[in-house]
Amino acid sequence: MGTPVATASTEGRGIPAAPTRPSRWRRLIQGQELVVTLVGIALIIFFSVATSAFATGSNLSTVSGYIAPILILAVAEVPVLTLGEIDLSVGGVYVLSPFLVVYLNNAGIPPLLGIIITLVIGIVIGIINGLITVYLRVPSFITTLGTVFALEGIVLLSSNGIQVNPVGGDTLAQVLGAWQFSSILWALGIAVALHIVFRHTSFGLHITATGGNVTASAESGVKVGWVRVACFAICSLLGAFLGILDGYRIGSLNPGTDGLTLMFYGVAAAVVGGTALTGGKGTIIGAAIGAIVLGVLEDGFNIMGINAFAYQLVLGLAILGAMILNIQMDSLRAGRRGGGRARKKSARGADPGAGQSLPSVEDDSSPESASTH
């Protein structure tokens, strides 16, 4: 991505000023990530004061077990949601993938190779979802809803509804989830990698631009079809990997696992963190923070013995609140940009030389600026 250039007329001659960037702090305080971070800190303080069992080493592994699955699914959904789409089938891929590793092992394929093949199958499922959505023009909600039911049916039929145990040696199991902190480390690593791709590569820029205005992006040379299919493939890949991680972490594979509900937790975390369901705006860091908040909230409720239904109530209110905050913040930003353009137009009318300057653009790390490139 190019460095943003801010220009202004100098001595009335329209000479471009030196490139400038908004400070990192300014970008932070303008984002919804700050609000969610403060909420998360407040929850940690509250639960630490309310119960002595919260801020303990043993509970740290417990809360990480709550956070990791939501975090991986949240960051997996961000690129798809930024496009204005949704992938429900990732919940089905999550349930199917550890069973595939077992079936492949029963067929004589070593566990590690079976895991690789399973991840490739996950990618293929995502590509199929993307192709149906993009080229057959079936809404992604319908496409992936049908896929998730089909995948869950495959799991139930192939397993006869019987639980099985994961396969592989102790070292493989420890690395892929059996160790108490391996899942959260994998989750954080995935979040960092996706953040770099999403904010610091042309592919990430194209995702946001396509979600903001697919027609303009296509006319600008972006291969919007490929971008959309690739996002579905990434989401499905991460869903398959999470299924394998959770299989080793839990130690048994249940064909009746409700992957669809876990997927919605991931979507909720992404939305709470600042990703817009309408497309054009996404944040990996915000989704990760949202997942941490939801994980801390669920763990705190369980420790305090609060009715589990209360978590669903709070989750629903949090989604509504996040969407309202999203809309209000977007309106404020639009108002500030509109006022800035009006002032520049007025200045150009008063100073003809200023009309020679290049227009200023916002920091390309922000979703709004990305969608206008």
Q: Which fold has domain 24-331+362-370?
A: ABC transporter involved in vitamin B12 uptake, BtuC (1.10.3470)
**Three state DSSP letters for the chain:** CCCCCCCCCCCCCCCCCCCCCCCHHHHHHCCHHHHHHHHHHHHHHHHHHHCCCCCCHHHHHHHHHHHHHHHHHHHHHHHHHHCCCCCCCHHHHHHHHHHHHHHHHHCCCCHHHHHHHHHHHHHHHHHHHHHHHHHCCCCHHHHHHHHHHHHHHHHHHHHCCCCECCCCCHHHHHHHHHCCCHHHHHHHHHHHHHHHHHHHCHHHHHHHHHHHCHHHHHHCCCCHHHHHHHHHHHHHHHHHHHHHHHHHHHCCECCCCCHHHHHHHHHHHHHHCCCCCCCCCCCHHHHHHHHHHHHHHHHHHHHHCCCHHHHHHHHHHHHHHHHHHHHHHHHHHHHHHHHHHHHHHHHHHHCHHHHHCCCCCCCCCCHHHHCCC
pLDDT of residue 8: 39
> What does pLDDT average to in each consecutive run of 10 residues of the chain (373 residues)?
41 41 49 80 89 87 92 96 94 95 94 95 96 94 95 92 89 88 94 94 93 90 93 96 93 89 92 86 91 90 82 81 72 65 58 44 40 40
The predicted structure's pLDDT at residue 34? 81
Predicted model pTM: 0.80
pLDDT score, position 19 = 39
